[in-house]
Protein backbone atom coordinates (compact mmCIF):
# COMPACT_ATOMS: atom_id res chain seq x y z
CA UNK A 1 0.00 0.00 0.00
CA UNK A 2 2.89 2.39 0.73
CA UNK A 3 4.24 1.94 -2.79
CA UNK A 4 0.82 2.73 -4.25
CA UNK A 5 0.61 5.82 -2.06
CA UNK A 6 4.09 6.89 -3.18
CA UNK A 7 3.13 6.35 -6.82
CA UNK A 8 0.01 8.49 -6.40
CA UNK A 9 2.12 11.17 -4.69
CA UNK A 10 4.49 11.30 -7.67
CA UNK A 11 1.63 11.38 -10.18
CA UNK A 12 0.08 14.26 -8.24
CA UNK A 13 3.44 16.06 -8.31
CA UNK A 14 3.66 15.63 -12.09
CA UNK A 15 0.17 16.91 -12.84
CA UNK A 16 0.43 19.60 -10.18
CA UNK A 17 3.62 20.94 -11.77
CA UNK A 18 1.98 20.89 -15.20
CA UNK A 19 -1.14 22.70 -13.94
CA UNK A 20 0.93 25.41 -12.24
CA UNK A 21 3.05 25.82 -15.38
CA UNK A 22 0.04 26.26 -17.63
CA UNK A 23 -1.64 28.62 -15.18
CA UNK A 24 1.49 30.79 -15.11
CA UNK A 25 1.73 30.85 -18.90
CA UNK A 26 -1.93 30.86 -19.96
CA UNK A 27 -3.98 32.29 -17.14
CA UNK A 28 -6.73 33.54 -19.50
CA UNK A 29 -7.29 30.26 -21.40
CA UNK A 30 -5.97 27.72 -18.90
CA UNK A 31 -8.69 25.12 -19.61
CA UNK A 32 -8.05 25.05 -23.34
CA UNK A 33 -4.28 24.80 -22.92
CA UNK A 34 -4.64 22.03 -20.34
CA UNK A 35 -6.60 19.95 -22.86
CA UNK A 36 -3.93 20.55 -25.51
CA UNK A 37 -1.09 19.54 -23.21
CA UNK A 38 -2.83 16.67 -21.38
CA UNK A 39 -2.32 13.85 -23.91
CA UNK A 40 1.33 14.61 -24.81
CA UNK A 41 2.30 15.01 -21.18
CA UNK A 42 0.39 11.85 -20.23
CA UNK A 43 2.86 9.93 -22.37
CA UNK A 44 5.82 11.84 -20.93
CA UNK A 45 4.57 11.29 -17.37
CA UNK A 46 4.34 7.54 -17.94
CA UNK A 47 7.95 7.68 -19.10
CA UNK A 48 8.99 9.64 -15.99
CA UNK A 49 7.31 7.10 -13.68
CA UNK A 50 9.05 4.31 -15.59
CA UNK A 51 12.45 5.99 -15.10
CA UNK A 52 11.75 6.57 -11.40
CA UNK A 53 11.06 2.84 -11.09
CA UNK A 54 14.18 1.53 -12.82
CA UNK A 55 16.38 3.92 -10.81
CA UNK A 56 15.14 2.30 -7.55
CA UNK A 57 13.09 5.29 -6.40
CA UNK A 58 10.20 2.97 -5.45
CA UNK A 59 12.49 0.57 -3.59
CA UNK A 60 11.96 1.25 0.12
CA UNK A 61 15.44 -0.01 0.90
CA UNK A 62 16.81 3.19 -0.71
CA UNK A 63 14.22 5.68 0.54
CA UNK A 64 16.06 7.63 3.19
CA UNK A 65 17.20 11.23 3.26
CA UNK A 66 20.90 10.84 2.53
CA UNK A 67 23.34 11.90 -0.17
CA UNK A 68 22.88 8.67 -2.17
CA UNK A 69 19.12 9.20 -2.40
CA UNK A 70 19.32 12.87 -3.44
CA UNK A 71 22.07 12.12 -5.97
CA UNK A 72 19.99 9.34 -7.48
CA UNK A 73 16.88 11.55 -7.60
CA UNK A 74 18.81 14.40 -9.23
CA UNK A 75 20.33 12.09 -11.83
CA UNK A 76 16.92 10.62 -12.58
CA UNK A 77 15.37 14.05 -13.15
CA UNK A 78 18.20 15.00 -15.54
CA UNK A 79 17.78 11.77 -17.53
CA UNK A 80 13.99 12.07 -17.69
CA UNK A 81 14.24 15.73 -18.71
CA UNK A 82 16.70 14.93 -21.52
CA UNK A 83 14.43 12.18 -22.84
CA UNK A 84 11.44 14.54 -22.70
CA UNK A 85 13.27 17.12 -24.84
CA UNK A 86 14.22 14.37 -27.30
CA UNK A 87 10.62 13.28 -27.69
CA UNK A 88 9.30 16.80 -28.17
CA UNK A 89 12.00 18.10 -30.52
CA UNK A 90 13.92 15.24 -32.17
CA UNK A 91 10.98 12.85 -32.48
CA UNK A 92 8.11 15.27 -33.20
CA UNK A 93 5.20 12.89 -32.74
CA UNK A 94 3.25 15.53 -30.79
CA UNK A 95 1.59 18.69 -32.11
CA UNK A 96 3.30 20.87 -29.51
CA UNK A 97 6.92 21.86 -28.83
CA UNK A 98 6.65 23.30 -25.30
CA UNK A 99 10.20 24.58 -24.84
CA UNK A 100 9.47 27.26 -22.24
CA UNK A 101 6.66 25.22 -20.68
CA UNK A 102 8.91 22.19 -20.37
CA UNK A 103 11.67 24.16 -18.66
CA UNK A 104 9.21 25.70 -16.19
CA UNK A 105 7.57 22.30 -15.61
CA UNK A 106 10.91 20.60 -14.90
CA UNK A 107 11.87 23.30 -12.43
CA UNK A 108 8.54 23.12 -10.61
CA UNK A 109 8.42 19.34 -10.57
CA UNK A 110 11.99 19.12 -9.27
CA UNK A 111 11.12 21.38 -6.36
CA UNK A 112 7.87 19.55 -5.62
CA UNK A 113 9.30 16.02 -5.76
CA UNK A 114 12.34 16.93 -3.65
CA UNK A 115 9.99 18.36 -1.02
CA UNK A 116 7.40 15.53 -1.13
CA UNK A 117 10.01 12.78 -1.17
CA UNK A 118 11.90 14.35 1.73
CA UNK A 119 8.70 14.56 3.79
CA UNK A 120 7.67 11.03 2.76
CA UNK A 121 11.06 9.53 3.62
CA UNK A 122 11.14 11.28 6.98
CA UNK A 123 7.57 10.29 7.84
CA UNK A 124 8.18 6.73 6.72
CA UNK A 125 11.38 6.37 8.74
CA UNK A 126 10.01 8.12 11.81
CA UNK A 127 6.38 7.08 11.65
CA UNK A 128 4.56 4.16 13.25
CA UNK A 129 6.63 1.00 13.38
CA UNK A 130 5.64 -2.49 14.37
CA UNK A 131 7.43 -3.58 17.58
CA UNK A 132 9.52 -6.66 16.75
CA UNK A 133 10.82 -9.52 18.90
CA UNK A 134 13.33 -12.05 17.55
CA UNK A 135 13.45 -15.33 19.47
CA UNK A 136 16.63 -17.35 19.02
CA UNK A 137 20.19 -16.18 18.43
CA UNK A 138 22.23 -17.32 15.45
CA UNK A 139 24.13 -15.67 12.60
CA UNK A 140 20.98 -15.11 10.54
CA UNK A 141 18.90 -13.66 13.38
CA UNK A 142 21.75 -11.29 14.26
CA UNK A 143 22.05 -10.25 10.60
CA UNK A 144 18.31 -9.66 10.51
CA UNK A 145 18.41 -7.61 13.73
CA UNK A 146 21.16 -5.40 12.30
CA UNK A 147 19.29 -4.99 9.01
CA UNK A 148 16.05 -3.97 10.75
CA UNK A 149 17.87 -1.41 12.90
CA UNK A 150 19.66 0.07 9.86
CA UNK A 151 16.48 0.29 7.79
CA UNK A 152 13.74 1.94 9.88
CA UNK A 153 11.95 2.92 6.65
CA UNK A 154 10.84 -0.71 6.29
CA UNK A 155 8.36 -0.25 9.16
CA UNK A 156 9.72 -2.34 12.06
CA UNK A 157 11.39 -1.47 15.36
CA UNK A 158 13.47 -4.15 17.04
CA UNK A 159 12.54 -4.23 20.71
CA UNK A 160 14.36 -7.35 21.85
CA UNK A 161 16.35 -10.33 20.62
CA UNK A 162 16.04 -13.26 23.02
CA UNK A 163 18.70 -15.93 23.55
CA UNK A 164 16.78 -18.97 24.77
CA UNK A 165 19.97 -20.79 25.72
CA UNK A 166 20.63 -18.12 28.36
CA UNK A 167 17.22 -16.77 29.23
CA UNK A 168 14.86 -19.72 28.77
CA UNK A 169 11.23 -19.13 27.81
CA UNK A 170 9.89 -17.71 31.05
CA UNK A 171 10.33 -14.08 29.97
CA UNK A 172 8.67 -14.37 26.55
CA UNK A 173 5.16 -13.56 27.82
CA UNK A 174 6.43 -10.64 29.85
CA UNK A 175 8.42 -9.12 26.96
CA UNK A 176 5.50 -9.45 24.53
CA UNK A 177 3.17 -7.61 26.93
CA UNK A 178 5.60 -4.97 28.18
CA UNK A 179 6.93 -4.01 24.73
CA UNK A 180 3.51 -4.42 23.07
CA UNK A 181 5.09 -6.73 20.51
CA UNK A 182 3.32 -6.90 17.16
CA UNK A 183 5.57 -9.40 15.35
CA UNK A 184 7.60 -12.34 16.68
CA UNK A 185 10.27 -13.87 14.45
CA UNK A 186 11.09 -17.45 15.38
CA UNK A 187 14.50 -19.02 14.70
CA UNK A 188 14.60 -22.76 13.86
CA UNK A 189 16.27 -23.77 17.15
CA UNK A 190 13.41 -22.18 19.09
CA UNK A 191 11.17 -25.16 18.35
CA UNK A 192 13.51 -27.38 20.38
CA UNK A 193 12.14 -25.79 23.57
CA UNK A 194 9.11 -28.01 24.47
CA UNK A 195 7.02 -25.31 26.13
CA UNK A 196 7.65 -22.51 23.64
CA UNK A 197 4.70 -23.34 21.37
CA UNK A 198 2.25 -23.14 24.28
CA UNK A 199 3.70 -19.75 25.21
CA UNK A 200 3.23 -18.51 21.65
CA UNK A 201 -0.33 -19.80 21.52
CA UNK A 202 -1.19 -17.80 24.63
CA UNK A 203 0.14 -14.68 22.90
CA UNK A 204 -2.32 -14.98 20.01
CA UNK A 205 -4.94 -13.22 22.11
CA UNK A 206 -2.68 -10.14 22.04
CA UNK A 207 -2.94 -10.06 18.22
CA UNK A 208 0.69 -11.04 17.76
CA UNK A 209 1.85 -12.16 14.31
CA UNK A 210 4.34 -15.02 14.20
CA UNK A 211 6.81 -15.52 11.36
CA UNK A 212 9.62 -18.01 10.91
CA UNK A 213 13.08 -16.57 10.47
CA UNK A 214 13.64 -17.62 6.84
CA UNK A 215 10.33 -16.12 5.62
CA UNK A 216 10.74 -12.83 7.47
CA UNK A 217 14.41 -12.53 6.51
CA UNK A 218 13.42 -13.07 2.89
CA UNK A 219 10.59 -10.52 3.12
CA UNK A 220 12.91 -7.86 4.56
CA UNK A 221 16.09 -8.41 2.56
CA UNK A 222 14.88 -9.98 -0.71
CA UNK A 223 17.26 -12.89 -0.22
CA UNK A 224 17.13 -16.31 1.46
CA UNK A 225 19.18 -16.98 4.63
CA UNK A 226 21.33 -20.07 4.06
CA UNK A 227 21.69 -20.85 7.77
CA UNK A 228 17.94 -20.90 8.41
CA UNK A 229 16.87 -23.37 5.69
CA UNK A 230 17.27 -27.08 5.04
CA UNK A 231 16.41 -29.66 2.39
CA UNK A 232 12.73 -29.51 3.37
CA UNK A 233 12.71 -25.81 2.47
CA UNK A 234 13.75 -26.67 -1.08
CA UNK A 235 11.02 -29.29 -1.44
CA UNK A 236 8.40 -26.83 -0.17
CA UNK A 237 9.54 -23.73 -2.06
CA UNK A 238 11.27 -24.81 -5.25
CA UNK A 239 8.52 -26.94 -6.76
CA UNK A 240 9.17 -26.76 -10.49
CA UNK A 241 5.88 -28.28 -11.63
CA UNK A 242 4.03 -25.02 -11.00
CA UNK A 243 6.56 -23.11 -13.13
CA UNK A 244 6.02 -25.04 -16.37
CA UNK A 245 3.87 -22.40 -18.10
CA UNK A 246 6.20 -19.64 -16.92
CA UNK A 247 9.27 -21.46 -18.26
CA UNK A 248 7.60 -21.98 -21.65
CA UNK A 249 6.67 -18.28 -21.86
CA UNK A 250 10.15 -17.27 -20.74
CA UNK A 251 11.77 -19.43 -23.44
CA UNK A 252 9.47 -17.91 -26.06
CA UNK A 253 10.42 -14.36 -25.04
CA UNK A 254 14.12 -15.33 -24.84
CA UNK A 255 14.07 -16.44 -28.49
CA UNK A 256 12.06 -13.45 -29.73
CA UNK A 257 14.13 -10.79 -27.96
CA UNK A 258 17.45 -12.51 -28.69
CA UNK A 259 16.59 -12.29 -32.40
CA UNK A 260 15.40 -8.67 -32.11
CA UNK A 261 18.46 -7.50 -30.15
CA UNK A 262 20.72 -9.52 -32.43
CA UNK A 263 19.35 -7.72 -35.51
CA UNK A 264 19.56 -4.30 -33.83
CA UNK A 265 23.17 -4.76 -32.68
CA UNK A 266 24.44 -6.60 -35.77
CA UNK A 267 25.59 -3.39 -37.58
CA UNK A 268 27.75 -2.46 -34.56
CA UNK A 269 29.54 -5.83 -34.29
CA UNK A 270 32.22 -5.08 -36.96
CA UNK A 271 33.04 -1.74 -35.28
CA UNK A 272 33.35 -3.39 -31.85
CA UNK A 273 35.48 -6.19 -33.31
CA UNK A 274 37.78 -3.72 -35.11
CA UNK A 275 38.21 -1.64 -31.96
CA UNK A 276 39.14 -4.74 -29.92
CA UNK A 277 41.73 -5.79 -32.53
CA UNK A 278 43.26 -2.32 -32.66
CA UNK A 279 43.33 -2.00 -28.86
CA UNK A 280 45.18 -5.24 -28.10
CA UNK A 281 46.45 -8.40 -29.75
CA UNK A 282 44.39 -11.55 -29.55
CA UNK A 283 41.03 -12.90 -30.69
CA UNK A 284 37.89 -10.74 -30.78
CA UNK A 285 35.72 -13.35 -29.10
CA UNK A 286 36.49 -15.12 -25.86
CA UNK A 287 35.18 -18.61 -25.18
CA UNK A 288 35.09 -20.11 -21.72
CA UNK A 289 33.61 -23.18 -20.07
CA UNK A 290 30.76 -22.46 -17.68
CA UNK A 291 28.39 -24.60 -15.59
CA UNK A 292 24.80 -24.45 -16.84
CA UNK A 293 21.40 -25.90 -15.98
CA UNK A 294 21.51 -29.22 -14.09
CA UNK A 295 25.29 -28.91 -13.79
CA UNK A 296 26.01 -29.42 -17.51
CA UNK A 297 28.99 -27.55 -18.89
CA UNK A 298 28.67 -25.30 -21.94
CA UNK A 299 30.87 -22.77 -23.72
CA UNK A 300 30.04 -19.12 -23.11
CA UNK A 301 30.89 -16.50 -25.77
CA UNK A 302 31.89 -12.93 -24.95
CA UNK A 303 33.84 -10.10 -26.49
CA UNK A 304 37.39 -10.29 -25.16
CA UNK A 305 38.00 -7.69 -22.44
CA UNK A 306 41.32 -8.91 -21.03
CA UNK A 307 44.75 -9.10 -22.54
CA UNK A 308 45.70 -12.21 -24.46
CA UNK A 309 46.63 -15.20 -22.27
CA UNK A 310 45.58 -13.33 -19.09
CA UNK A 311 45.58 -16.55 -17.04
CA UNK A 312 48.52 -18.29 -18.71
CA UNK A 313 50.74 -18.05 -15.63
CA UNK A 314 48.17 -17.94 -12.82
CA UNK A 315 45.47 -20.31 -14.01
CA UNK A 316 41.83 -19.58 -13.17
CA UNK A 317 41.54 -16.72 -10.65
CA UNK A 318 38.68 -14.50 -9.51
CA UNK A 319 38.23 -11.26 -11.42
CA UNK A 320 38.93 -8.21 -9.27
CA UNK A 321 37.78 -4.62 -9.17
CA UNK A 322 39.99 -2.60 -11.55
CA UNK A 323 41.54 -5.89 -12.64
CA UNK A 324 44.97 -5.11 -14.18
CA UNK A 325 44.43 -7.82 -16.80
CA UNK A 326 41.53 -5.84 -18.32
CA UNK A 327 42.28 -3.74 -21.40
CA UNK A 328 41.31 -0.07 -21.60
CA UNK A 329 38.47 -0.85 -24.03
CA UNK A 330 37.59 -3.95 -22.00
CA UNK A 331 36.79 -1.80 -18.96
CA UNK A 332 34.24 0.14 -21.00
CA UNK A 333 32.76 -3.03 -22.54
CA UNK A 334 32.33 -4.55 -19.08
CA UNK A 335 30.80 -1.47 -17.47
CA UNK A 336 28.23 -1.15 -20.26
CA UNK A 337 27.66 -4.94 -20.55
CA UNK A 338 28.47 -4.72 -24.28
CA UNK A 339 30.97 -7.58 -23.82
CA UNK A 340 28.01 -9.91 -23.21
CA UNK A 341 26.27 -9.29 -26.57
CA UNK A 342 27.65 -12.53 -28.14
CA UNK A 343 25.82 -14.45 -25.41
CA UNK A 344 22.64 -13.85 -27.42
CA UNK A 345 23.85 -16.92 -29.32
CA UNK A 346 23.96 -18.90 -26.05
CA UNK A 347 20.38 -17.79 -25.40
CA UNK A 348 19.21 -18.90 -28.87
CA UNK A 349 20.90 -22.28 -28.31
CA UNK A 350 18.92 -22.68 -25.07
CA UNK A 351 22.04 -22.74 -22.86
CA UNK A 352 21.19 -19.43 -21.17
CA UNK A 353 18.31 -17.06 -20.56
CA UNK A 354 18.16 -13.27 -20.31
CA UNK A 355 17.54 -13.61 -16.56
CA UNK A 356 18.95 -16.20 -14.20
CA UNK A 357 21.88 -16.95 -11.87
CA UNK A 358 25.36 -16.16 -13.15
CA UNK A 359 27.01 -19.04 -14.99
CA UNK A 360 30.04 -20.00 -12.90
CA UNK A 361 33.34 -21.41 -14.13
CA UNK A 362 33.86 -25.15 -13.42
CA UNK A 363 37.16 -24.40 -11.64
CA UNK A 364 35.34 -22.25 -9.07
CA UNK A 365 32.21 -24.40 -9.02
CA UNK A 366 34.09 -27.38 -7.57
CA UNK A 367 35.34 -25.24 -4.69
CA UNK A 368 32.06 -23.43 -4.09
CA UNK A 369 29.87 -26.55 -3.94
CA UNK A 370 32.13 -27.78 -1.11
CA UNK A 371 32.39 -24.48 0.78
CA UNK A 372 28.87 -23.04 0.31
CA UNK A 373 25.82 -25.04 1.47
CA UNK A 374 23.14 -25.67 -1.18
CA UNK A 375 25.30 -24.06 -3.88
CA UNK A 376 24.35 -26.62 -6.54
CA UNK A 377 20.65 -25.84 -6.11
CA UNK A 378 21.10 -22.68 -8.19
CA UNK A 379 21.57 -24.89 -11.26
CA UNK A 380 17.99 -26.12 -11.38
CA UNK A 381 17.32 -23.26 -13.83
CA UNK A 382 19.30 -21.80 -16.73
CA UNK A 383 21.97 -19.18 -16.02
CA UNK A 384 21.26 -15.67 -17.25
CA UNK A 385 22.83 -12.61 -18.83
CA UNK A 386 21.66 -10.77 -15.74
CA UNK A 387 19.92 -11.79 -12.55
CA UNK A 388 18.59 -10.82 -9.14
CA UNK A 389 21.99 -11.36 -7.54
CA UNK A 390 23.79 -9.36 -10.24
CA UNK A 391 21.67 -6.23 -9.71
CA UNK A 392 21.62 -6.46 -5.91
CA UNK A 393 25.21 -7.44 -5.10
CA UNK A 394 28.59 -6.39 -6.42
CA UNK A 395 30.69 -8.63 -8.62
CA UNK A 396 31.72 -11.73 -6.68
CA UNK A 397 35.43 -12.37 -6.15
CA UNK A 398 35.51 -14.75 -3.17
CA UNK A 399 33.74 -17.68 -1.54
CA UNK A 400 31.97 -15.29 0.84
CA UNK A 401 30.71 -13.22 -2.11
CA UNK A 402 29.43 -16.40 -3.75
CA UNK A 403 27.52 -17.30 -0.56
CA UNK A 404 25.95 -13.84 -0.44
CA UNK A 405 24.94 -14.00 -4.10
CA UNK A 406 23.51 -17.50 -3.64
CA UNK A 407 21.00 -16.05 -1.16
CA UNK A 408 19.73 -13.72 -3.89
CA UNK A 409 19.76 -16.54 -6.47
CA UNK A 410 17.59 -18.73 -4.24
CA UNK A 411 15.17 -15.83 -3.72
CA UNK A 412 14.90 -15.44 -7.50
CA UNK A 413 14.44 -19.17 -8.12
CA UNK A 414 11.63 -19.29 -5.54
CA UNK A 415 9.86 -16.10 -6.65
CA UNK A 416 10.68 -15.94 -10.37
CA UNK A 417 7.98 -14.64 -12.66
CA UNK A 418 7.71 -12.64 -15.87
CA UNK A 419 7.07 -9.47 -13.82
CA UNK A 420 10.21 -10.03 -11.71
CA UNK A 421 12.18 -10.81 -14.88
CA UNK A 422 11.03 -7.55 -16.48
CA UNK A 423 12.05 -5.58 -13.39
CA UNK A 424 15.52 -7.19 -13.42
CA UNK A 425 15.98 -6.42 -17.13
CA UNK A 426 14.94 -2.78 -16.68
CA UNK A 427 17.30 -2.28 -13.74
CA UNK A 428 20.09 -3.99 -15.70
CA UNK A 429 19.56 -1.46 -18.50
CA UNK A 430 19.84 1.31 -15.93
CA UNK A 431 23.13 -0.15 -14.64
CA UNK A 432 24.49 -0.44 -18.19
CA UNK A 433 23.54 3.14 -19.07
CA UNK A 434 25.21 4.42 -15.89
CA UNK A 435 28.26 2.24 -16.66
CA UNK A 436 27.98 0.83 -13.16
CA UNK A 437 28.79 -2.72 -14.15
CA UNK A 438 32.09 -4.45 -13.56
Instruction: Return the domain boundaries, the chain.
Output: 2-126, 130-220, 241-433
Q: Dihedral angle at the C-alpha atoms of 132, 4, 57, 120, nearest 10 degrees?
A: -70
Could you tell me whether strands 209-212 and 353-355 are parallel, antiparallel, or unpaired per DSSP bridges?
unpaired
* Pair 351, 298: CB distance under 8 Å: yes
Each of the 438 residues of the chain gets a pLDDT tens digit; together they read 778 889 999 999 999 999 999 999 888 888 888 888 888 888 889 999 999 988 889 888 888 888 889 999 999 999 999 988 888 877 776 777 778 888 999 999 999 999 999 998 888 776 678 899 998 888 889 999 999 988 888 888 898 888 876 766 667 777 888 888 889 898 887 777 667 777 777 777 777 888 888 889 998 999 998 887 878 888 777 766 678 889 999 999 999 999 999 999 999 999 999 988 888 888 889 888 999 999 899 999 999 888 776 665 555 666 666 666 788 888 888 888 888 999 999 999 999 999 999 998 888 888 888 888 888 888 999 999 999 999 988 776 788 888 899 999 999 999 999 999 999 998 888 888 775 555
Could you tell me whether strands 130-135 and 183-186 are parallel, antiparallel, or unpaired per DSSP bridges?
parallel
List strand residue ranges (DSSP E) for 181-266, in order: 183-186, 209-212
Report the distance separating Cα 359 and Cα 137, nearest Å. 34
**Domain 130-220 CATH (choose: 3.40.50.720, 3.40.50.300, 3.30.460.80, 3.40.640.10):** 3.40.50.720
**How far is residue 13 from each of residues 48, 103, 120, 141, 376, measured CA to CA in Å?**
11, 16, 13, 40, 48
Report the distance separating Cα 170 and Cα 195, nearest Å. 10
* Pair 393, 405: CB distance under 8 Å: yes
Amino acid sequence: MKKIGLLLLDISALYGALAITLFIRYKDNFGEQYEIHFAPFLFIFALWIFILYITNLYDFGFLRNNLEFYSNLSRTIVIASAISFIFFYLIPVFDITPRTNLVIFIGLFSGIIFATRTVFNKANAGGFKKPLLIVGVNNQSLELAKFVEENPQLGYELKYIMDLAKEGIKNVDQIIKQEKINTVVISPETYQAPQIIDTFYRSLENRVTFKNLSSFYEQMTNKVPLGAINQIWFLENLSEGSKKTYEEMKRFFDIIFAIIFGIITLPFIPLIALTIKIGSSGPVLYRQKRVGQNGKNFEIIKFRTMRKDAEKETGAVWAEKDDPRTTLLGKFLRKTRIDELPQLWNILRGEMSFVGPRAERPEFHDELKTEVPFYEERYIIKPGLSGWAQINYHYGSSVNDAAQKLQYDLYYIKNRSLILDLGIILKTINIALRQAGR
